[in-house]
Structure 1
Amino acid sequence: MNPQLPPLNPLRVFESAARHLSFTRASQELHITQGAVSHQIKALESWLGFNLFERRAGQLQLTRGGELYGAALSGAFAQIVRATQDLVSTGSKQVLTVRGHTTLFLRWLIPLLPAFQSAYPDINVRLTASVEGVDFKRDNADIGIVYGDGPWDGLRDDLLFSDELTPVMAPELAGRLPRPCTTEALLELPLLHSNRRPQHWPDWIQLAGASRKLAVGDMFYEDLSVIYQCATEGLGVALGQLRYLEKDLIQGRLVAPHPLVLRRRRGYHLVCPEPRADDGKIVCFRQWLLARATVPVPLVPG
């Protein structure tokens, strides 16, 4: 055993007592006597060479060092719990952790996963959502799906799909437009903007050969899922990523009355650290996902 590692049972008892600030509640949680809690705490303090608790006005309090140590132990035990849950839930399966944006998971990746799990039952895909890009030095992830132009230093980069952006709205709102829809009429409606993709609407408007300033009724949101829901409810016009909205357009929850689609190289990339690019589970997922990402999306007429 590592001589720098304290005895584990006293650590577990101390973490519980520090979390509750009570020997009594720790004894109840661990199903041991209060005397046993006190004994284990003294054993740990003896091993460390200083006190972790002090009593003030009859109340149990942590020393500053004890407070920091207890918080660190709580995090460590939480990691052990998560690792155990992963092991129990997956058994002998490999776990592939994918980090990406919530909207991409909900509207594109998750509907594809049942087919992958059926094809590769020994690989269990776990999704971790974040509004930030993946950082493989910080995040516990095997691969990431990121938005941008690429490439990125030190990463294997495969383009999944590029931008295909077109105005979408609820059928009721589209009913206020002439047929065929003109750019001028469309831009008179409230626009739904993304704070994380602020250039999307300006780029589409420029491609349309038009100009427009911010107008009363325009709204700004952080989350694309919120923007699409607002569009579905008739609150304004969203600039929709066609890969995300194929089902909504086919089923008529949204319509795309304007024919102009902004297409460019920028899009969503599957990335992983170069040294791990040939790992078996990563190769399986990459090849399978790329085969599905290359299927073109039909534009449903408004």
Structure 2
Amino acid sequence: MTDRPPRLPPLNALRVFQSVMQHRSFRAAADELHVSPQAVSLQIKGLEDALAVPLFARKGRGIDPTEQAILLAHFVNAGFSEIEEGIRRITRSQTRNRINVNASPYFATRHLLDRLARFRAILPDADLRLTTMVDLPDFARDDIDVAIQWGFGDWEPHDHSLLLRDLKVICCTPDIAARLHRPADLLAETLLHPILTDRLWSDILAHLGVTLTAQTQAIRFQDAATMRRATLAGLGVGLISSIDATEDLEAGRLVAPFGTDVMNTMPADRIPGFYLVLPRSHRRVRPIAAFCDWITAEDWTQDSHTLPGKE
């Protein structure tokens, strides 16, 4: 036999309780709610009876909240805040044109910013707001409509669409490359990892016939740009996105000791990428749907810095 969830008390009683906790006074709560102090007292008594828990100790004309009341107030306040936010959003959504986008910092600077004018030409009245954060946001808490996230496509139950595979190149300075004669030699070097995943290096090494060991030194980085700088500084062997790697290899700043196409023959589910991620319900909002249609139709394999008009 399973326990039944507790029956929720009347919403009005919780609203009265919230006001009493805020003012620490039945009379002040009554003034705020435009009712009599007796009505407030009856609501609190009914709430205590429904919960079978004392909420206030009466001391003459004063009251002191019990430990249970202090705990309950935390959740009641959070609950009413969520309700208020939900009402704000649905009333705003009738005429809203704002689109809150959170993008991987690398994707935003390397690919997205140079193309946003294209979307603005499609929906010129859109109030587009862009933030950059490495981790997947909490869509409700962070007030984010859509996210562009780096990873392997495992974001159920959210809707997600692959925009661009992020093929990496094993890169290092010429001094380090001189010590790397076969893939197993990588285990003696410091490997630079993206902080979002521990599997990338192990998958690549396994593809090369090498097993990553716990003894291998590692440094983890929050974003791709920092990892690239660390690789250029000679802190270890990095996994550099192919566009960036091409620039550094051609300039002679870095070396690809095992070639530039190591990841090209790996299984698709082992190759990370940039994905459009959002709750399915968000597509019902017209401006958000327009943004999703635009961004999934773009060819992100083309370097944004070589687009027409980008000299």
Tell me which interval the TM-score lies in, with the shorter structure as reference length: 0.5 to 0.7
Residue 289 of structure 1: how far off its partner (Å)? 1.7
Tell me, what secondary structure is at the counterpart of 2:169? strand
Aligned to 1:290: 296
Residue 192 of structure 1: how far off its partner (Å)? 1.7
Aligned to 1:269: 275
Aligned to 1:105: 104
**Deviation digits for residues 174-227 of structure 1, max 9, x if unmatched?**
141458x855697253112346533322333344x4636548671253744565
**Deviation digits for residues 14-54 of structure 1, max 9, x if unmatched?**
3534xxxx66xxxxxxxxxx962586687444224236322
Structure 1 letter corresponding to 2:240: G
Higher strand share goes to which structure?
1
Q: TM-score, normalised by structure 2?
A: 0.58
Over 3 Å counting, the alpha-carbon distance change for 1:191 and 1:4 in structure 2 is same
Q: d(CA) in 2 for partners of 1:16 and 1:189?
A: 59
Aligned to 1:192: 192
Maintained 8 Å contact 2:192/2:219: yes
**Deviation digits for residues 157-184 of structure 1, max 9, x if unmatched?**
5320113011245xxxx141458x8556
**Correspondence for 2:43 among 42, 47, 67:** 47
Aligned to 2:126: 122
Tell me, what secondary structure is at the counterpart of 2:168? strand
Maintained 8 Å contact 2:20/2:28: no
Tell me, what secondary structure is at the counterpart of 1:296? coil
Root mean square deviation, CA, Å: 5.2
1:167 aligns to 2:154 (yes or no): no
Structure 2 letter corresponding to 1:105: S
Q: d(CA) in 1 for partners of 2:155 and 2:282?
A: 17
Aligned to 2:65: 61
Instruction: Spell out the pairing of 1:182-221 with structure 2 (5 A cutoff).
Output: 187=186, 188-194=188-194, 196-207=196-207, 209=208, 211=210, 213-214=212-213, 218-221=217-220
Over 3 Å counting, the alpha-carbon distance change for 1:186 and 1:239 in structure 2 is farther
Q: d(CA) in 2 for partners of 1:59 and 1:182?
A: 78
Maintained 8 Å contact 1:156/1:277: no
Q: d(CA) in 2 for partners of 1:168 and 1:89?
A: 49
Structure 2 letter corresponding to 1:74: N
Maintained 8 Å contact 1:166/1:256: no
Structure 2 letter corresponding to 1:163: D
Over 3 Å counting, the alpha-carbon distance change for 1:9 and 1:157 in structure 2 is closer
User: Where in structure 2 are there 5+ consecutive unaligned residues?
Assistant: 1-8, 49-53, 305-311
Aligned to 1:28: none
Residue 237 of structure 1: how far off its partner (Å)? 2.0
Count of paired positions? 266
1:148 aligns to 2:152 (yes or no): yes
Residue 118 of structure 1: how far off its partner (Å)? 3.9
Maintained 8 Å contact 1:45/1:52: no
Q: d(CA) in 2 for partners of 1:15 and 1:128?
A: 38
Q: d(CA) in 1 for partners of 2:83 and 2:247?
A: 41
1:36 aligns to 2:36 (yes or no): no
Q: d(CA) in 2 for partners of 1:148 and 1:183?
A: 28
Residue 105 of structure 1: how far off its partner (Å)? 1.9
Residue 70 of structure 1: how far off its partner (Å)? 1.1
**Deviation digits for residues 247-267 of structure 1, max 9, x if unmatched?**
9959x8x95420323135343
Tell me, what secondary structure is at the counterpart of 1:257? coil
Aligned to 1:26: none
**Identity rate, percent:** 18
Tell me, what secondary structure is at the counterpart of 1:269? strand
Residue 282 of structure 1: how far off its partner (Å)? 3.5
